[in-house]
Amino acid sequence: MSTDTTTITEARIEADPNLPLIRITRDFKASPAALLRAHVDPELFVKWIGPNGLNTTIDYWDARDGGSFRYVAGDGDQQYGFRGCFHRISDDRIVQTFTWEGMPDGVSLETLRVEDLGNGYTRLHAQSLVDSFEDRDAWLRSGMEVGVNDGYAKLDTLLEAEA
């Protein structure tokens, strides 16, 4: 349990100065189990992932160690495909690869870890390791913070309704 009592209500997105790595930290009023479930249950996942205004559909989803996924987010003619593999799913962590199909050579290794803060709050620690500093910086310039923050705001609402 963390001794930090400050609640992080907007995602803190940071670039590691020494590695091509992005770290995201965000708190949720939910249990660790509920937060992890929202990341692996496809019916929940499509309700919150990504920026406002895009609809997400699952092509395939096998959330288990060694499983894989593909989903498409879009609005009208604009469609964006994402895919990856689940390497490890445990009670406090998800390790997976992630690829935006618009840049098929850009595979990131992602780790999501949950930390029980007590009093019904959980801190999500996520990191994405990419191939190069150039790729990392392109992700940061892409407007990813809009999708992250819009998605997490929707996740707040979803978790509140599930409670």
Phi, psi for 132 (deg, rounded to 5): -155, 165
Under the banding of pLDDT at 50, 70 and 90, the label for residue 154 is: very high
Mean pLDDT of 94-99: 97
pTM over 0.85: yes
pLDDT at 20 over 80: yes
Q: Please report where in the chains the tokens 């801190």 appear, as a residue.
A: 123
User: Of 160, 157, 162, whose CA–CA distance to 52 is shortest?
Assistant: 157
Mean pLDDT of 94-102: 95
Which alpha helices (H) appear in 1-122, and where do they start and end? 32-40, 42-48
pLDDT tens-digit series, residues 25-37: 999 999 999 999 9
pLDDT at 9 over 90: no
Q: What's the pLDDT score for residue 146?
A: 92
Pick the CATH number of 26-123+142-162 from 3.30.530.20, 3.20.20.70, 3.40.50.1980, 3.40.47.10: 3.30.530.20
Domain boundaries, the chain: 26-123+142-162
Mean pLDDT of 131-156: 93
CB atoms within 10 A of CB 3: 6
Q: Please check whether residue 15 is in contact with residue 139, taking contact to mean a CB–CB distance below 8 angstroms.
A: no
Q: What's the pLDDT score for residue 8?
A: 77
pLDDT at 4 over 80: no
pLDDT at 116 over 80: yes
